[in-house]
Structure 1
Amino acid sequence: MSKILDNSYYDLMINTALAPTYDTGDNITYLNRQNSLLHIPAGKADPCDLGKHSYSSFPTIFTLASTISLEKSGVTTVQTNPFLALFGQGVLVAVIDTGIDYRHPAFLFNDGTSRILTMWDQTDQSGTIPGEFTFGSEYSREQINAALQSPDPLSVVPTTDVLGHGTAMASILAGSPNEQQGFSGIVPQADLVIIKLKEAKPVTKKVSFIPESAICYQESDLILGIRYAVTAAARFNRPVVICIALGSSQGGHDGRGATSAYLDHLALLPGNGISVAAGNEGNNRRHYYNATSALPYYNDIELRVGSSDTIFAMEIWSYAPARLSIDISSPNRESTQPIYPGLNQCRKFSFIFNQTIIYVNNIIFEEETGEQLILLRFSNPLPGIWYLRVQSSENEPFSFHSWLPSGDLLSGDTFFLDSNPDTTITSPGNARHQLTVTAYNQLSDSILPESGRGYTRIGQIKPDIAAPGFELTCAVPGGLYGTATGTGAAAAHAAGIIAMVFEWAIVRGNYPRITGNDANRLMISGAVRNPANTYPNNIWGYGQVEINRLFERFTSS
């Protein structure tokens, strides 16, 4: 078995330049020019393994970012204009998600053949591994068409989408019209590139204190999915728009992680569009912020822990030059005493009067950012109010952020009592040059309360733009139609608009060298802005996407 699939191995992120140092022939998986995976035996998957390796070595864990109106964003106006009529022809749209129901009418041409150009299923090891990759199965349009003509399609192309999230996102972005359902994707003439992510390894979940039953995905597989989309675009010599409707609350929320760096690089190259969901953590009460500027130089966090959350992690990120200690007290006031920062220490605390075990990594210098990180991992925490005292070791002013896990990794019963809805955009939504999309209710013109809010931890302006994201009609596995709500749906909608810009600019030859970042700035310039608000702001970004205004600006210049 390939080590990237073997649960007895950790997948550690390392700099690609260092890969030859560790390479023994089968223990390195190349991700991109910056990062590779080093596969090492996990042994018993001791939680303190995270102390033996740098925090950023372990892949970030991602969750899904979604649970109608096309006219609202100007799409219908542009498509009914005979001089524009942009439907995504000649553009590839890549969806990296939970897969696709390739038999659904939303992904078929009128003659019943597939609109999917190529597909990589990371979970299926029965077919041909794509070139330059080491696992999964690749299926071409010809193979999918053969499956569609078979009495048993899944015996030919055995890929499905059990959760339906990827099917929904792909359909919002590029689904074929269905008049009876009042449905059409944004660019129904674009060709689809589908990447089905494999779930995070159980051994990765274990060291990250994520419930074994949780549905989530690891960063390394997402990076490989992005690389597959880019290589497909090169193979077919077409521009590509990549939609990422996933997010993570791990990391410093500063756009400096491995996936963010990769997307930043790609968005500055011609023909690569990238649309990323802002996440749905805005109203989950999972972010805490404090700035302490006067004596006494400490702050008490109150964290309510629900009875169903028996295993979870939380992170505290400070700003230099602060050096912070932490003291953790249970609801019955049993305490760890102060834990001071160090380099690679991992402290285990077993509470005497309850079943709680807490692992604490107080990392003075997190390698990827250079900032202090306090990582807390709880096992069987006593339900109730926990008290965490964060204190300056130097007796001077300090500030910090803290985040709990995203999505379904935690129930709604665990939250900060004095939470802050800002700085809740999930990774990789904090990267600088991609398009980060928040969601609004297109029926009431109000932001969705769950939409992640900016800015980034280091003050970069995010989100970039708001797109419709409330009950968007979408395809559902089994040939059905339903609705999707959330920033994932909004990101899919916005990805379709980037594809329209690429069709006009690249396919029609108006601006062949356009980059994803160029397209983003054009969309921002044409956004609708409410006179009652100041822009940019941390809720709406630069306003509501409106592609017709973008093209009006070209014609009036």
Structure 2
Amino acid sequence: METYLDSVSAMGRNVICTGMGNNGDDALHFGGKLENREIQEIELGIGPYEPALNLQLWKAYEDEIKIYVENPSGIRIGPLEERMGAQRWRAGNTNLLIYYGKPAPYHVTQEIYFEFLPDALYVDSGVWKLVLQGINVKNGDYFLWLPGGKTLNPGTGFYLPRVHGTLTIPATARRLISVGAYDSRLLSYAAFSGRGSSELPYGKPDLTAPGVGITAPRTGGDYGSYTGTSFAVPFVSGSAALLMEWGIIKGNDPYLYGEKVKAYLRRGARPLPEYKQYPNYEVGWGALCVTQSLPQERIAPSTDRISPVT
């Protein structure tokens, strides 16, 4: 999806904006670095009454590692076999379907997909362990993901989650404007907003916009209060449209689209009080400010407290 959206963004006269996702403070992501002959154990809690579960492990394809899975009662399966097609294992009252992926034309990484399926109604609850053993490791970085979207029961998640890298697809696309959320009343970062990571070859998010307690229309013609990065994105897409109108429609800059709009919005972004260094993994280049982003009508930069959107 990221490759497709980057291609569309390069076609001209468009700007694509997306949210960073709302998994920033959820225990859904873990990552680390594995060395040769090193063994690491990752603990994953599965709460009661979980009807099914899937887990994704991403690593460099060139790294050869052994993988074991241990259920809460201590039953260990593995090492898993790296082969095409599904392989089925059983641990206690839970069946595991495991799929090894291959690199794609657009990336050199490998996905290993785990599906937890109960024998009866629910997956065995308790502390599961994923054991990784380095055999022939050249890179060593790995990343683990549980499903987002508030689909998991309380108690299901990694015991030592990693907050960095919690942005979700398609915010990972290079050419998109990826938008985080902040609380415009408190002028503070919204903890649920997905974060970027040093593992990405480019900085994300690009900037942040109000995403807490946003008044918006709802079904039936009334209004409601909403929270999430999906409600921060419209501030930025509307601002991008205003810049494109100023540049393309009004004749001030016929090439004001795509990465150029992103560059102007990044430059015009204002600081939030809790941050000294920009860009950063939480708010990117700062908080949206259209006034500062106008290329020929910029006012002197200010470090004063900012209004929700200027």
TM-score (norm 1): 0.50
Q: Is the 8 A contact 1:439 1:447 kept in 2?
A: yes
Q: Is the 8 A contact 2:102 2:111 kept in 1?
A: yes
Q: SS in structure 1 opposite 2:130?
A: strand
Structure-2 separation of matches of 1:436 and 1:512: 23
1:430 aligned residue (148, 151, 172): 172
Structure-2 separation of matches of 1:424 and 1:445: 22
Q: Deviations over 1:338-369 (max 9, x none)?
A: 11323x13210133x42x11001133545642
- Residue 536 of structure 1 is matched in structure 2 by 279
Q: Deviations over 1:274-322 (max 9, x none)?
A: 11010011111100011134x7512111000012322121111113531
Q: Does 1:449 align with 2:195?
A: no
Shift in CA distance, 408/488, structure 1 to aligned 2, threshold 3 Å: same
Aligned positions of 1:93-242 closer than 5 A: none
Q: SS in structure 2 opposite 1:432?
A: coil
Q: Is the 8 A contact 2:179 2:206 kept in 1?
A: yes
Superposition deviation, residue 409 in structure 1: 2.8
1:358 aligned residue (96, 116, 131): 96
- Residue 398 of structure 1 is matched in structure 2 by 140
Structure-2 separation of matches of 1:339 and 1:494: 45
Structure-1 separation of matches of 2:82 and 2:200: 22
The runs of 4+ residues in structure 1 deviating greater than 4 Å are none
Structure-2 separation of matches of 1:336 and 1:367: 32
Q: Is the 8 A contact 2:243 2:256 kept in 1?
A: no
Structure-2 separation of matches of 1:359 and 1:520: 42
- Residue 545 of structure 1 is matched in structure 2 by 288
1:317 aligned residue (58, 62, 65): 58
Q: Is the 8 A contact 1:299 1:391 kept in 2?
A: yes
Q: Is the 8 A contact 2:34 2:134 kept in 1?
A: no
Answer 1 or 2: which has greater helix percent.
Answer: 1
Q: Deviations over 1:374-404 (max 9, x none)?
A: 1101112200100110112226772211011
Q: Is the 8 A contact 2:69 2:129 kept in 1?
A: yes
Superposition deviation, residue 413 in structure 1: 2.4
Superposition deviation, residue 410 in structure 1: 2.1
- Tell me how large the CA RMSD over aligned residues is: 2.0
- Residue 77 of structure 2 is matched in structure 1 by 336
Give the counterpart letter for 1:357 in structure 2: N
2:247 aligned residue (482, 497, 505): 505
Structure-1 separation of matches of 2:293 and 2:138: 49
Give the counterpart letter for 1:345 in structure 2: G
Q: Is the 8 A contact 1:430 1:456 kept in 2?
A: no
Q: Is the 8 A contact 1:297 1:395 kept in 2?
A: no
Q: Is the 8 A contact 1:423 1:454 kept in 2?
A: yes
- Residue 345 of structure 1 is matched in structure 2 by 85
Shift in CA distance, 520/512, structure 1 to aligned 2, threshold 3 Å: same
> Relative contact order (C-alpha < 8 Å, sep 6+): which is higher?
2
Shift in CA distance, 304/422, structure 1 to aligned 2, threshold 3 Å: same
Q: Is the 8 A contact 1:312 1:377 kept in 2?
A: yes
Q: Is the 8 A contact 2:72 2:127 kept in 1?
A: yes
Q: Does 1:267 align with 2:5?
A: no
- Rg larger in structure: 1
Aligned positions of 1:416-495 closer than 5 A: 416-455=158-197, 457-495=199-237
Structure-2 separation of matches of 1:423 and 1:321: 22
Q: SS in structure 1 opposite 2:127?
A: strand
Q: SS in structure 1 opposite 2:260?
A: helix
Give the counterpart letter for 1:487 in structure 2: T
Shift in CA distance, 272/330, structure 1 to aligned 2, threshold 3 Å: same
Answer 1 or 2: which has greater strand percent.
Answer: 2
- Residue 376 of structure 1 is matched in structure 2 by 114
TM-score (norm 2): 0.89
Q: SS in structure 2 opposite 1:554?
A: coil
